[in-house]
Amino acid sequence: MGADHYDEGRVASVGVTRRRGAGEEGRDEMTTTTSPKGKTLERNLSNKEKAIELWCNVKHQLVEYSALPEYLKDNSFIVRYYRADWSFKHSLYSMFSMHNETFNVWSHLVGFFLFLGLFIYTVVHMPGIVDPETLERWQSGVIMEKLPSYLQLPEALSSCVPGTFDGSRCIQKPITRGPFLVFLVGAMYCMLASTTCHLLGCRSAMTFYTLMRIDYSGIATLIAASFYPPVYYSFMCNPILCNMYLGMITTMGIFSVCASLVPVFQTAEYRNVRAALFFSMGISGIIPCFHKIFLYQDDPMAYQALYNEIYMGIIYAMGALVYATRIPERWKPGMFDIIGNSHQLFHVLVVLGAYVHYRGGLIYLQWRDVKGCPLS
């Protein structure tokens, strides 16, 4: 019995040694073999992770127009490469991938940085203004008798270098750049609002409608802000006319922004109404433009500024036309899904028109820096 017991112990000992050796060579295999519940749990977790990964990949695939939720169905002539119900992370990163909104995002993002650079440049080179003490000292003199009745003293003397007025003339200094900065801020807001809308609008219906309202308000803001430089610098010597025109365009701008925030305004049925509203705002600028020519018909700079405004108006009108008619994608549905469709052309024309307007503003600044306001 002792020998049998010894042999059994030896066999058991050898078996343990062999099992330990096998465990050292494949410890993970032994663990999973001896733990069936852990193995099942690992399989379940692995399957869940794979399912989540698969779902994310499927969810963030580009889809066709027919597969879109209703809130994203706007232009049936753009057939493919849509994003729908994407997460914030995937929507944000999609600016570096190719889809039918990529060009819309980058065209106005580049436009935003363009006008941001112009804004910084203008602020850095902004001249000073006449100090209030000098104006108060002038007001106590005899110059009030030499001023036309429709002029106010601060406006008339704001372009004079302090201490240089001799009763009828003075050394001119650059005029305020405030109205010019209003236009640049309006352009930046429009570009940034548009970029955000086209980049993140695919997240959900609530996000889409909120960003669309902001986008339309940006368009209205740009149109209204574009009037400030030409109106102010054309009529700065006549405060009554200046305030009247600026008040009119500001009122129209506020109305258009408020209309843009109404939910029904952003539906596809009101597409032509939106285009007509923005177009009418732009057309209203004809009145002060021709009034300016009537007042300064002998000044070549006035005509130069007018030609620039006509050029800008043509560009904006072309943008409104392609936006409303959806040309060229209506001629060849599916051909212009990625590049060349009407909304992308509209974006390019908006940036181009705003830049032309900036160049026109420089003409106004040069004109008023040289001429100023007449004192007699």
Annotated binding residues for Zn(2+), as ranges?
A: 198, 343, 347
- Dihedral angle sign, alpha carbons of residues 323, 329, 334, 337: negative
Which two three-digit tokens encode residue 53?
């990964």
DSSP state, 236? Answer: T
Helices (H), the chain: 2-25, 27-34, 36-59, 88-93, 102-124, 132-139, 153-157, 178-200, 205-235, 239-260, 271-283, 286-295, 300-325, 342-371
DSSP line for 167-206 = SS---B-PPP-HHHHHHHHHHHHHHHHHHHHHHHTTS-HH
Residues tagged in the binding site annotation: 198, 343, 347
Alpha-carbon gap, residue 200 to 317, rounded angstroms = 28
Q: Is 161 left (phi over 0), alpha (psi -120 to 50) or beta?
A: beta
Whole-angstrom Cα Rg for the chain: 34
Q: Copy the structure tokens of residue 152.
A: 């106010």
